[in-house]
């Protein structure tokens, strides 16, 4: 039971990190990143390639390239790869298309990624996927399985805390306010001087790097990664967590990830088997869709809503300071008229 609980805890931490990445994009900036799971997958594959070692012809699995670097380099490489994917996808999608079309193209990109990896076994071992991905420090630590999982959970939590601090700083800063403004009204944000396309590109890069880190943590824990684990519906599991927890609130999203990834999805796994073996999986997705609908209808702000910002009292300054000097081309006209 300890083993199972620790495993679920690590999955929850991974889910929280992935949802934080999506929250930056969707919750704070309004980018409907329907390719969210693709970023997790890119992180997982990158961490795998940076830890598996060089591929050999005699190996039971094929991949186009690999090396073996010590931790944390595979995780860092995953973050860089996620950011690079965010930049690439963002450049292709965000500049010319409107929000709903961006979402459609991102969904297509995600599906293309799954098909591409599945279709070419020489790339990342096709639909069978990669296995035997080394776990960091496992051979050095002689702690047994439960002890190692405890260690890995600690490593994941420390990483999550660092990511939390980065995202909290963004959220609390004037930049966070700009992101929320873009989410609320892109046209108005542009009209007051913010480059909306560049802002969205930035959140695709940062959010993509965060989601990729989640993938790296997950893959080095479970030791295997295959296309079946990152099909496009998985993205909606992440969206469900963000919506249920509370868009734009890091704490809320963490609660949402715990509720959806930990309790809801894991809970349905514990249901007794009935009928066709596929029924449980179908029930899982139908329940998830229902959960999203219920929250969107009855509590769109989520379990923990976005914080309402208040500003402390300040001393009023001179009225003449309200406008720049250039604005006063006809200084004193009011007095003249009077």
Partner 1 sequence: MPENSVVSQQQVPAAVSPASAGQDGEPLLRVAGLTVRFGGVVAVDDLSFGIMPGTAVGLIGPNGAGKSTALKVIGGEVKPTSGAVLFDGVNLAGRPPHVAARHGLIRTFQLGGEFARLSVMENLLVAVPRLRGQSIWGALAGRRWWAAAQDAEVRRARDVLSRLDLTDKCDAYARDLSGGQRKLVEIGRALMARPKMLVLDEPMAGVNRSLARHIEEALKALRDEGLTLLLVEHELGSVERLCDRVIVMAEGRQIADGDMGQLRSREEVLRAYLGGG
Closest approach of partner 1 to the CB of residue 34, in Å: 22
Q: Which is nearer to partner 1, 139 or 308 (CB)?
A: 308
Q: Which is nearer to partner 1, 20 or 230 (CB)?
A: 20
Structural tokens at position 268: 């349905």
Closest approach of partner 1 to the CB of residue 317, in Å: 5
Q: Which is nearer to partner 1, 54 or 95 (CB)?
A: 95
Closest approach of partner 1 to the CB of residue 312, in Å: 8
CA within 13 Å, CB half, 123: 14
Q: What is the distance between the alpha carbons of residues 83 and 81, in angstroms, rounded to a whole number?
A: 5
Closest approach of partner 1 to the CB of residue 308, in Å: 7
Q: What is the distance between the alpha carbons of residues 29 and 200, in angstroms, rounded to a whole number?
A: 7
Asked if 52 contacts 131 with a C-beta cutoff of 8 angstroms, the reply is no
Per-residue DSSP letters for 67-127? ----TTHHHHHHHHHHHHHHHHHHHHHTTTS-HHHHHHHHHHHHHHHHHHHHH-HHHH-GG
The residues of the shown chain that bind partner 1, judged by CB under 8 A, are 166, 169-170, 172-178, 180-181, 184-185, 187-196, 202, 206, 306, 308-312, 314-319, 321-324, 326-331, 333-334, 337
Q: Which is nearer to partner 1, 145 or 195 (CB)?
A: 195
Asked if 291 contacts 259 with a C-beta cutoff of 8 angstroms, the reply is no
Q: Which is nearer to partner 1, 266 or 306 (CB)?
A: 306
Closest approach of partner 1 to the CB of residue 99, in Å: 15
Q: Which is nearer to partner 1, 82 or 136 (CB)?
A: 82
Q: Phi-psi region for residue 306, left (φ > 0), alpha (ψ -120 to 50) or beta?
A: beta
How many contiguous H segments (helices) and E segments (strands) does the chain have?
A: 14, 0
Helix or strand holding residue 166 (H, E): helix 144-172
Q: Which is nearer to partner 1, 139 or 326 (CB)?
A: 326
Closest approach of partner 1 to the CB of residue 309, in Å: 6
Closest approach of partner 1 to the CB of residue 293, in Å: 21
Asked if 208 contacts 86 with a C-beta cutoff of 8 angstroms, the reply is yes
């Amino acid at each position: 039971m300890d083993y199972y609980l620790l495993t679920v805890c690590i999955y929850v931490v991974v889910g929280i990190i992935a949802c934080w990445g999506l929250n930056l994009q969707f919750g704070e900036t309004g980018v409907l990143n329907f390719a969210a799971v693709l970023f997790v997958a890119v992180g997982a594959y990158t961490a795998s390639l940076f830890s598996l070692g060089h591929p050999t012809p005699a190996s039971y699995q094929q991949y186009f390239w690999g090396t073996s670097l010590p931790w944390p380099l595979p995780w860092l490489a995953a973050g860089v790869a996620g950011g690079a994917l965010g930049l690439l996808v963002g450049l292709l999608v965000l500049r010319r298309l409107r929000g709903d079309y961006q979402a459609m193209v991102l969904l297509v990109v995600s599906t293309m990624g799954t098909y591409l990896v599945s279709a070419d076994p020489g790339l990342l071992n096709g639909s069978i996927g990669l296995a035997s991905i080394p776990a960091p420090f496992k051979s050095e630590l002689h702690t047994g399985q439960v002890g190692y999982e405890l260690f890995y959970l600690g490593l994941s939590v420390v990483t999550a805390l660092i990511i939390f601090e980065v995202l909290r700083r963004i959220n609390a800063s004037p930049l966070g306010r700009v992101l929320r403004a873009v989410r609320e009204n892109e046209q108005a944000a542009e009209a007051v001087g913010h480059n909306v396309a560049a802002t969205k590109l930035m959140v695709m890069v940062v959010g993509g790097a965060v989601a990729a880190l989640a993938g790296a943590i997950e893959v080095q824990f479970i030791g295997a990664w295959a296309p079946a684990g990152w099909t496009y519906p998985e993205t909606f599991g992440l969206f469900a967590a963000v919506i249920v927890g509370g868009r734009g609130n890091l704490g809320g999203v963490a609660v949402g990830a715990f509720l959806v990834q930990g309790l809801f999805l894991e809970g349905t796994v514990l249901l007794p088997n009935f009928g066709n073996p596929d029924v449980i999986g179908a029930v899982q997705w139908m329940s998830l869709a229902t959960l999203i609908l219920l929250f969107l209808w009855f509590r769109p702000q989520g379990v923990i809503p976005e914080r309402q910002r208040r500003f402390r009292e300040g001393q009023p300054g001179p009225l003449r300071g309200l406008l720049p000097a250039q604005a006063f081309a006809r200084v004193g006209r009011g007095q003249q008229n009077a």
